[in-house]
Amino acid sequence: MEVVVLGSGSPLPDPDRAGPSTLVRTGAGDLLFDCGRGVLMRAAAARSGAGAFVALFLTHLHSDHLTDLNDIVTMRWATSFAPSPLRLFGPTGTGRVVQAVGEMLEADIGYRLSHHADLGWRPVTEVTEIGGPTVLELNGIRVTAAFTDHAPVRPTLGFRIDDGGRSVVIAGDTVPCSGLDGLCADADVLVHTAVRRDLIEGIGLPRLTDVLDYHSSVEDAAETAERNRVGTLLLTHLVPAPEPGTDDEWAGLATARFGGRVIVANDLTTVTIDG
């Protein structure tokens, strides 16, 4: 089992960090969690791509977590040689977003159908909206979803992937909450968004300090990991993006509260879980 951070960034454009996205490689194939800006560019670097995704999971409907959904829909369809529906799991409201993406792409779909004689089908996205705690079985892989707390964004989801005794949790954007704790128990890897409260408060811009009440700080993420006996804490969606040479500073805030391994993600940071 392997975790690849395709995008470690946030809504703020960064030349070195794509938008939020995590690839989990399992015995059943590649599972993608969120699809922020630049996801397929990073997937290509990881030797994956739209056609390789067994399923796509959205933690919530904030724009930075689904900016490139249209690119995945288009590229999965336009590069396939037979109909290959995209399986998409997300919170209530996901179907409406997918419908809107399809409407936005309608002109492009028409152009491609007219131009390519061997492309005789339209893109299809099979949407499953998750309205509560849910367990999915995908080709022998167990995916568990639970509500998290990113209010006023509702609903938001975290996911746990279990594959042959190995486990990964994708927290998404959240503050500490019971739903996330339930997913994290004894997990091998917790992929957790994190903000630096001290740096954000030092900047002092109201639009930025507003993020503090619905995101976990580095310390919050560390305490969640410690409380639930997680093996490795992988910090991503970093706000503000770490200055070069400060990864140890970020990690130190976590290790002060968590006894396991801490990794501060960059794009394409990869964690292998040995079975």
β-strand partners of 269: none
Task: Judge whether 66 and 97 are in contact, CB under 8 Å.
Answer: yes
How would you write 238-259 as a 3-class SS string? EECCCCCCCHHHHHHHHHCCCC
Question: Could you report the per-residue pLDDT of 33-82, keeping only the tens digit for each?
Answer: 999 999 999 999 999 999 999 999 999 999 999 999 999 999 999 999 99
Mean of the pLDDT values across residues 222-226? 98
Contact 264/232 with Cβ under 8 angstroms?
no
User: Is the per-residue pLDDT at 275 higher than 80?
Assistant: no
Are 31 and 52 in contact by the 8 Å Cβ rule? The answer is: no
* 69: helix, strand or coil: helix
Domains of the chain: 2-270 (3.60.15.10)
| Angle, CA of 65, 69 and 73, to the nearest 5° | 160
- Report pLDDT digits (tens) over 178-191: 999 999 999 999 99
Catalytic positions, please?
64
| Interacting residues of 274 by C-beta distance below 8 A, sequence separation 6+ | none
What whole-number percentage of the chain has pLDDT above 90? 98
Task: Write down the pTM of the prediction.
Answer: 0.97
Quick check: 123 pLDDT over 80?
Answer: yes
Residue 244 has pLDDT above 80, yes or no: yes
